[in-house]
Amino acid sequence: MLSKLLMRSQPCRLCSFRKRLSAPKYRPFLAFFTCTTDSQSKKENKKTVEKLFKLSVDIRKIRRLKGWVLLEDETYVEEIANILQQLGASETAVASILERCPEAIICSPTAVNTQRELWQLVCKNEEKLVKLIEQFPESFFTVKDQENRKLNIQFFQELGLKNVVISRFLTTASNIFHNPIEKNKQMIKILQESYLNLGGSEANMKVWLLKLLSQNPFILLNSSAAIKETLEFFQKQGFTNFEILQLLSKLKGFLFQLCPRSIQNNEESSLENHPAAKCQSPDLLRSLFCSNLVNRKRIAYELA
C-alpha cells in the first residue's frame, strides 16, 4: 500500500519540479528586455525622432544600425536636410542618405557647408555631387581636417590629376586627405626620384606618376623608409632597375605595400616546389619570382 502511494505521488512531485524549473527561467530575461527597451526609448531625443519621421526616414533602421545618434541632445536634422535639398536632392534621396549615415544629423551645418564647397572644387555639377553623396554619405559627412583636405585637393590639381580622379579619391580613398600636405608632397618627391633612379625618363615621369596615383592612391599612405627598403630588397635579390620599374608598374604601386621579409619567405617556399627551380639560372629564377608576385596580386585584385 505504501509503495502504491509513493508511485502515485512521484509524478506530482516531478511535475511541480518541472514547473518550478521552467517558470523562473524566462521571466527575468523578458523583464530585463522590457526594462531595457523602455529605458532606451525614454532617452531618445523626441524632437529628433519627429523631425526624421517628417522626412520619411525609417527610424527603425536607424535604431537598428546606429541608435546612439537618436540619443544625442543636439542634432541638426532640418539644417542638414536643407543643405542636401539646396543641392537638388529629392525627398527620397535625403531620407536614404540619413538612413545610411545617421551621424550626418550631428554634424555642424557650418562644417557641412564647408564640405560641400570642398567637394565642389572637383565636382561642380550639383546633380553629380548629390549622386556621389548618395553613394558615399559617410565620406561626405566626415568633416574633420577640412583645411588640410583643401590644401591636398589643390596640390593634386597642381600635379595634373583630373577632377574626376580626385573626386574618386574623396569617396574611396579619403584617408590620403588626412595626411599633412607636407607628407603627401614628400611622398610624391620620393616616387619621382625613385622613378628616375630606376632609369625612367624625365619626359615620361609625369604620365607614369599620374597613372600610378590614379590606380593606387593608397601609395601615399606609405612611409619614405618603406619605399626605400622595398627597392633595396629587390636590388639585393638581383633584379635590374628595368625589372623593378616594370614590376612596380604591373603591380600598380602595391609593391611598396608588401613586407620584404614576408615576400622572401613566401616566394622561397613556393619556388622550392616549382619544376624549374632546380635549374641554376638566376635570370629564370628572377622571372619566376616576378611572375609569382604579379599573379598573386592579380588573383587578389580579382577576388576583391
What single letter denotes the amino acid at residue 91? E
Residue 150 covered by a domain = no
Of 95, 120, 143, which residue constitutes the final position of a domain?
143
Report pLDDT for 122. 96
Tell whether 83 and 133 lie within a shared domain. yes
- Exposure class string for 177-203: b at 16+ Cβ within 10 A, else e: bebebebbeebbebbbebbeebebeee
Residue 174 covered by a domain = no
**What is the domain extent for residue 108?**
43-143
Residue 211 covered by a domain = yes
Instruction: Report how far apart, in Å, the C-alpha atoms of 280 and of each of 233, 236, 277, 289 are.
Output: 21, 17, 8, 14
Residue 6's pLDDT band (cuts 50, 70, 90)? very low
Residue 288 covered by a domain = yes
Model pLDDT for residues 76-133, shown as the tens digit of each residue: 999 999 999 999 999 999 999 999 999 999 999 999 999 999 999 999 999 999 999 9
Domain count, the chain: 2
Q: pTM higher than 0.75 for the full model? A: no
- Phi-psi category of 258—alpha, beta or left, where left has phi over 0 and alpha has psi -120 to 50? beta
Residue 170 covered by a domain = no
- Res 282 pLDDT > 80: no
CB contact at 8 A, 214 and 169? no
Query: Residue 218: CB partners within 8 Å, gap ≥ 6?
Result: 173, 175, 176, 257
Of 143, 167, 190, which residue constitutes the final position of a domain?
143
Model pLDDT for residues 194-213, shown as the tens digit of each residue: 999 999 999 999 999 999 99
Residue 38 covered by a domain = no
For CA atoms 300, 213, 224, 176, the dihedral sign is negative
H-helix or E-strand spanning residue 252: none
Model pLDDT for residues 42-86, shown as the tens digit of each residue: 589 999 999 999 999 999 999 999 999 999 999 999 999 999 999
Tell whether 125 and 63 lie within a shared domain. yes
Residue 275 covered by a domain = yes
Tell whether 136 and 185 lie within a shared domain. no
Computed on alpha carbons and rounded to an integer, the radius of gyration of the chain in Å comes to: 30
Tell whether 199 and 88 lie within a shared domain. no
What single letter denotes the amino acid at residue 84? L
